[in-house]
Amino acid sequence: MAQTERGKPGVRFQELIRRKRDGGRLSAEDISAFIEGVKSGSLQEVQIGAMLMAIWQKGMVAEETLALTKEMKVSGHVFQWPEEWAGLVVDKHSTGGVGDKVSLPLAPALAACGCKVPMISGRGLAHTGGTLDKLESIPGFNVHQPVDQVKQILQDVGCCIVGQTEDLVPADRVLYARRDATATVDSVPLITASILSKKGAEGLRALLLDVKFGRAALYKDLDSARTLTQSLVTVGNRLEIRTGAVLSRMDAPIGRCVGNALEVYEALECLKGRGPDDLKDLVVVLGGYLLWMSDQSPSPESGQRMITEVLTNGEALRKFQAMLEAQGVSAHVAHSLCSEKTDYFKHLRRADHQTELQASDDGTVLDIDGMVIATVLHGLGAGRTKVGEQINHSVGAELLADLGQQIRKGRPWIRIHHDCPELSPEQHRDLQRSLVLGRRESYQASVRVADFIPPPERQLTSRLL
């Protein structure tokens, strides 16, 4: 047996890298040795990077991806829940999108329906912030909760949204940072293992994945998104998590707000039974599927009615307020934000400047390119380029016109919130380019959710595309 760098019997990692580089398969023992080396620090940075690139180039079969996911999952703490919670622990994961604040109203809505939602979320890279960044717009909100406190919050409230701690899937933290540095972020097996190792550590009964496709998504077309979806659903179910997925469009932003503090404001409006229809529809559809998948409702349609009811009667909002307080927000701030009538920006920081852009012509809004808007906001400070970089929670955009709406030349269609004195000519140009106007008869409305792939044990014909 070859010697590792620390002098203990082990695996020659160069041989494993070479085997994968040449298109060979890694055994479960090989993958276990690789993850142990990642976790212990016995592997060199260049060896980790080389293995990630080999996986990116040659891929993995389902058995390899499953083994990688299992080893990453058990590299740290795995939650164990009380027996009386059996069947109630659920979660949702999105591959990300412009204006995607769905988790903020969905987690408390599911809790209001009797579920336990231990949502381990991430921070954003590239254009705008992630779920944790949005919540940190709220003064006092603490995403860093120890394992025992997560359990207590679930017992008392029913939902929490936290970051990955030192104890949870430590191998993923190492690999995630290296994937960004080695341009291997878009590898299907690495994405699958990263997502599902964290969800597996949550001890879930049911998991719904929201896989985005479109101009503002990692995958630009439905077919490529379907490849990732099938990998996630297959591996998730083999981990004994009842796993299903929706494929949803990510071209125009979700809702009317993009940017961390603005998205919190819009999520609160949704929890108060208001806000844009497309955001509410996504929350209701995804929640309905999860309630059905976890046997909390007899059908997706029944589950949707349950989610709609708790959004309407205020139960989801009360859960959100309780979650805020349980995660460090003062009772005064939490109550104020969740009041029926409130000035959100007494507590959420507003940017120093707001600039409105006007439509350059008459016409119907045929399209709004979310990726262009997000790229401009990133340049203004709403997103980060590398892990650990600070972001400006107040930077964002409000859409003042909806898809399919007729607008006149000179009418404001977007409001940009920024701290720099003024937008550059290039930013003006790019933002104006993101708005597509045309003739009314050219407009074709499209649904957000294009397809639903149920867990294998629950074959349901639900294709919407």
H helices within 239-330, ranges in order? 260-271, 277-293, 300-312, 315-326
C-alpha to C-alpha distances, 171 to 97, 140, 166, 176, 194, nearest whole angstrom: 25, 29, 10, 9, 9
Q: With contact defined as beta carbons under 8 Å apart, do 263 and 279 qualify?
A: no
Neighbours of 402 (CB within 10 A): 15
**How far out from the chain centre does Cα 447 lie?**
20
C-alpha to C-alpha distances, 348 to 1, 102, 279, 285, 392, nearest whole angstrom: 59, 19, 21, 29, 12
CA distance 28 to 65: 10
CA distance 385 to 125: 6
Gyration radius of the chain's alpha carbons: 22
CA triplet 250, 192, 67: central angle to 5 degrees?
Answer: 170
Neighbours of 236 (CB within 10 A): 28
Q: With contact defined as beta carbons under 8 Å apart, do 167 and 76 qualify?
A: yes
List residues with catalytic annotation. Answer: 93, 172, 179, 194, 198
Token pair belonging to 329: 């927000």
Neighbours of 386 (CB within 10 A): 9
Q: Which of these, 187, 145, 188, lies nearest to 168 by C-alpha position?
A: 145
